[in-house]
Amino acid sequence: MSATMTLDRPGTASTPAGGATPLVKMTDLNVKFVTRDRTVHAVNGVDLTLSAGEVLCILGESGSGKSVTMRALMKLLPKTAQVTGGIEVGGRDVQAMDEGTLSDFRGGDVAMIFQEPMTALDPVFTIGRQIAETVQRHEKVSRAAGLARALELLELVQIPSAKRRLDAYPHELSGGLRQRAMIAVALACKPKLLLADEPTTALDATVQIQVLLLLRSLQEKMGMGVIFVTHDLGVAGEIADRVAVMYAGKVVEEGPVGAMMKAPLHPYPKGLLGATVHAGMRGKRLTTIPGAPPALDVLPTGCAFAPRCTEAEDACLAGVPPLRMAEPGRFARCIKVPAA
């Protein structure tokens, strides 16, 4: 083995092979929310890249910084958020975009599927009109052309009786059909990048797998890059090419989905896998991760996971561990991970 290699910026290490420009590049991304009483450090030095046509799954429990990272990519955070670091999509600096540029960027170059379509879709307009308006806004076509495109999209996302559903309102559709309609809105202008923020959480298991298979099929057909946020390991295993696990606003492990699911490097994803029900678990006791995630306004010294980690030692509290490359394409933020 070569000398120990540590990296402060995982995105640099995971740059696409051959020097190709990544579709998404986040460099030392930090997001904090400042109020009169406290400062919440939601994202703390995240570096990630995404290649065109790749699916990256950001995995972690509530409060780990997943959704904040996604919204920072579209510059959708409230004014109380202070964002530093670099965010590039297709080589364009998102932080430098003004409102007019952002209006074209959102929906055109990048689109987002939200967790709850009932709040994302406008309840007073029909599904067809909402899709058609998106097409008209970005592609400068007539209303008739927009509606024709809306019908194509409803058929693309496999909504039954698509022509009739054009005149349906969101409340007239089931949860699964609303989510498909939300996907149709997101795909209206053929974005290069699709962001999906836990889009299957509110669905039952049968509908969830249908939506996941649909998303993966559409991603492959359209060649989109996708960043998919979830707390569900099973969902990550179904849709991702690569996984980045977040904890307390930092990426603690990153690598190919198959390798991470088979043998995670960091104690946190090890604990998540140990607490997951899967085939062959009947009669066996699930392991648990003790304690609770840290308060993001008062982060612990050193490794944020150390207070909950069964493998922690004094050195874990001495400072924040750098991200180590354990092998090509695999990284973990833990002092016990042997570096390549």
Neighbours of 61 (CB within 10 A): 14
Provide mean pLDDT across the span 265-274: 91
Q: pLDDT tens digit string along 33-77? A: 998 889 999 999 999 999 999 999 999 988 899 999 999 999 999
Confidence of residue 3 (pLDDT cuts 50, 70, 90): very low
Q: pLDDT tens digit string along 147-187? A: 999 999 999 998 999 999 999 999 999 888 998 898 999 98
Q: How far apart are CA 139 and CA 143, in angstroms?
A: 11
- Asked if residue 57 lies in contact with residue 230, where contact means CB atoms within 8 angstroms, the answer is yes
What pLDDT does residue 149 have?
92
What pLDDT does residue 17 have?
47
What pLDDT does residue 279 have?
67
Pull the structure tokens for residue 264: 């995670």
Q: pLDDT tens digit string along 68-111? A: 999 999 999 998 899 999 999 999 999 999 999 998 899 889 99
Pull the structure tokens for residue 80: 């109380």
- What is the per-residue burial (b if ≥16 Cβ within 10 Å, else e) of 152-191? ebbebbbbeebeebbebebeebeebbbbbbbbbbbbbbeb
CATH number of 9-274: 3.40.50.300
173, HSE (Cβ side, Cα atoms, 13 Å): 27
| % of the chain beyond a pLDDT of 70 | 93
Q: Considering the chain, what is the average pLDDT of its residues? A: 87
Q: At residue 124, does pLDDT exceed 70?
A: yes
Neighbours of 34 (CB within 10 A): 11
Residue 274 DSSP one-character state: H
Q: At residue 331, does pLDDT exceed 50?
A: yes
What pLDDT does residue 51 have?
95
Provide mean pLDDT across the span 309-315: 90
Question: Going by C-beta distance under 8 Å and a sequence separation of 6 or more, which residues neighbour residue 218?
Answer: 156, 157, 183, 187, 224
| Lowest mean pLDDT segment, chosen from 1-10, 80-89, 206-215, 255-264 | 1-10
| % of the chain beyond a pLDDT of 90 | 57
Q: At residue 259, does pLDDT exceed 70?
A: yes
Q: How far apart are CA 196 and CA 227, in angstroms?
A: 6
What pLDDT does residue 269 have?
93
Q: At residue 112, does pLDDT exceed 80?
A: yes
Confidence of residue 16 (pLDDT cuts 50, 70, 90): low
